Amino acid sequence: MIRADGSPRSPPAIVPLVPETLTLSSLPLFPLQTVLFPGGMLPLRVFELRYLDMVRRCHGAGAPFGVVALKQGSEVRQAGAPAETFHDIGTLATIQALETPQPGLLMIRCHGEQRFRLAEVERLRNGLWVAEVHRLDDDLPVPVPPDLAFVGQSLARVLVSLRARAGATGQIPAEDTMRLDDCGWVANRWCELLPVPLELKQRLMQLDNPLVRLELVSDILHRTGIAGQSIQ
């Protein structure tokens, strides 16, 4: 572009348009009897044909799949079993490691990423569920207040113990870097470890306030007396 005086005009700045809601289309879903939290690690044994193909495709493309907690039905299809129904908020999972110990069996290790809400769901002919989803905001970084510092300190002791027992297998329930000063991270790791019903874990995962989530975890630790004890 040229100015009136003949000098070149700088091109106008391009401002990217960011949609209010980020969406993913045709996200494959893996309904499970567990709740995956952002930042969590999830080992899975995959042997059903519908999921073997899905995992291979996701791993090859470096694409995520969605983990959703089951309300009804089982993880493995069974004749005469009730139809699968699941919660409408789940977590994106990326495959960090994949092994094939024998034909027809995959061992994968997944990392929990961003939460999402289901918008439209479809079941394919092979039984695989796919969905259009809306990504939910990540937890804001909220420092752990002094009166809840014991929750992070107890978690640190538990994770150190678990990692010592895991040894070279690497089967630990959290990423390597501990963020013990962050409400959301501490709450999420405790939620994965606590022996509480799946429905309660789902409600805790859905909370959009990490401080409230941590306060509820603190209440559970006090009621059960788990704080300071080892998780078996």
What local confidence, expressed as pLDDT, does residue 229 receive? 55
68, two tokens: 């959703």
Contacts of 5 (CB under 8 A, 6+ apart): none
Q: Decide if 187 contacts 179 (C-beta within 8 A).
A: no
Q: Given this structure, which CATH class describes domain 146-224?
A: mainly alpha
DSSP label of 147? G
29, two tokens: 């879903």
What local confidence, expressed as pLDDT, does residue 53 receive? 93
Burial (CB < 10 A; 0-12, 13-18, 19+), residue 151, is: buried
Q: Decide if 64 contacts 115 (C-beta within 8 A).
A: no
End-to-end CA distance of the chain: 69
Amino acid occupying residue 146: P
Mean pLDDT by 10 residues, the chain (232 residues): 44 36 77 96 94 95 96 80 90 96 95 96 93 96 96 91 67 68 96 95 97 97 73 46
What local confidence, expressed as pLDDT, does residue 167 receive? 60
CA of 29: how far to CAs of 80, 87, 95, 133, in Å? 22, 11, 14, 10
Please give the model's pTM, rounded to 2 decimal places.
0.83
Q: Residues 51, 36, 173, 113: is their CA dihedral positive or negative?
A: positive
Residue among 119, 3, 106 nearest 66 (CA): 119
What local confidence, expressed as pLDDT, does residue 10 receive? 43
Q: Where in the chain is the domain with CATH 2.30.130.40?
A: 23-135
Q: Where in the chain is the domain with CATH 1.10.4060.10?
A: 146-224
Q: Residues 46, 50, 51, 54: is their CA dihedral positive or negative?
A: positive
Owner of token pair 């963020």: 179
Query: For residue 36, what are the β-bridge partners?
Result: none
Query: For residue 34, what are the β-bridge partners?
Result: none
Any idea how long the chain is? 232
What local confidence, expressed as pLDDT, does residue 162 receive? 83
Angle between helices 210-224 and 183-193 (to 10 degrees): 40
20, two tokens: 């209010």
What local confidence, expressed as pLDDT, does residue 114 receive? 96
DSSP label of 9? P
Superfamily of domain 23-135: LON domain-like (2.30.130.40)
